[in-house]
């Protein structure tokens, strides 16, 4: 089951690691805000929490994914010479 032909996974560079940490902090802040807003009206806690949290979470995750992809180091393209 060991497939040595697989391309090794890329390791995150420093800028990408900082971006991931920033996204993690944002998600925690969004969780706190959603809990605070939902706690204002306990009768509709769950729908309010879901609406607030996921409406903030989805754009944050998309922005984080795009940011990590954009901050990826460019791989030099090796041109093959054919004789």
Residue 55 within any structural domain of the chain:
yes
Read off the pTM.
0.74
Residue 2 within any structural domain of the chain:
no
Q: Name the pLDDT band for 83 (thresholds 50, 70, 90).
A: low
Query: For the chain, how many structural domains are there in total?
Result: 1
Nearest to 67 by CA among 10, 13, 28: 13
Residue 75 within any structural domain of the chain:
no
Residue 60 near residue 19, CB atoms below 8 Å? no
Q: Which H or E run contains 39?
A: helix 14-39
pLDDT on residue 1: 57
Residue-wise pLDDT tens digits, 15-26: 999 999 999 999
pLDDT on residue 4: 62
Please give the residue range of the domain that contains residue 44: 14-70
Residue 3 within any structural domain of the chain:
no
Residue 58 within any structural domain of the chain:
yes
């Amino acid at each position: 089951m060991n497939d040595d032909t697989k391309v090794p996974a890329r390791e995150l560079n420093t800028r990408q690691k900082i971006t991931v940490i920033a996204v993690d902090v944002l998600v925690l802040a969004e969780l706190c805000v959603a809990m605070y807003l939902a706690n204002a009206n306990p009768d509709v806690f769950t729908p309010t929490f879901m609406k607030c949290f996921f409406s903030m979470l989805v754009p944050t995750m998309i922005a984080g994914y795009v940011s990590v992809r954009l901050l990826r180091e460019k791989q030099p393209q090796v041109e093959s010479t054919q004789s």
